[in-house]
Amino acid sequence: MDAKQYDTLQQSLSPKPSIIKNCLKAFLVGGIICTIGQLITFFYMAYFNFTERTAGNPTVATMIFLAMLFTGFGLYKKLAQFAGAGSAVPVTGFGNAVISSAIEHKSEGYVLGVGGNIFKLAGSVIVFGVVSAFVVALVKLLLVTVGVTNW
């Protein structure tokens, strides 16, 4: 059997993914995660006297913490297997990526294992976030300096 025949056989025997079903699951789970984030925002606004604008940072930190906690207990993996991108796209996916690397390399020690590998998957997210923030701030500075806007 050559490679072409093998590929044909594999495609005929492989189950076809239900794209509509997968998209619906991702949409629903992602929506539920975002709804939980909105409820946490309301909690901070009601009990800690935050404004809608200032409640954003603690909400993001709480969502990342919860994702890390659920990853540590093995629950986030089950959610990700069910929801696919619906669990990876919100900020909770970032928390899951960070803590997964830390857990995977824990046996190598805390410094070289956890410390050296914790941002392996999430490092690019941090780098692109910092670079994007720098570019946006630079554009804002130029627009304010030229007098186009008064942000």
**pLDDT one-digit tens code per residue, 54-77:** 999 999 999 999 999 999 999 999
Same domain, 100 and 129: no
0.85 surpassed by pTM: no
Per-residue pLDDT band at 151 (split at 50, 70, 90): low
* Per-residue CA distances from 125 to 81, 89, 97, 102, 147 (Å): 22, 12, 10, 16, 33
- Are 52 and 116 within one domain? yes
In a domain, 81, yes or no: yes
State the residue range of the domain holding 132.
123-151
Task: Give the 3-state secondary structure of residue 108.
Answer: helix
Are 96 and 150 in the same domain?
Answer: no
- Distance, in Å, from the CA atom of 29 to the CA atom of 81, rounded to the nearest integer, reads 11
The band of 45, judged by pLDDT with boundaries at 50, 70 and 90, is very high
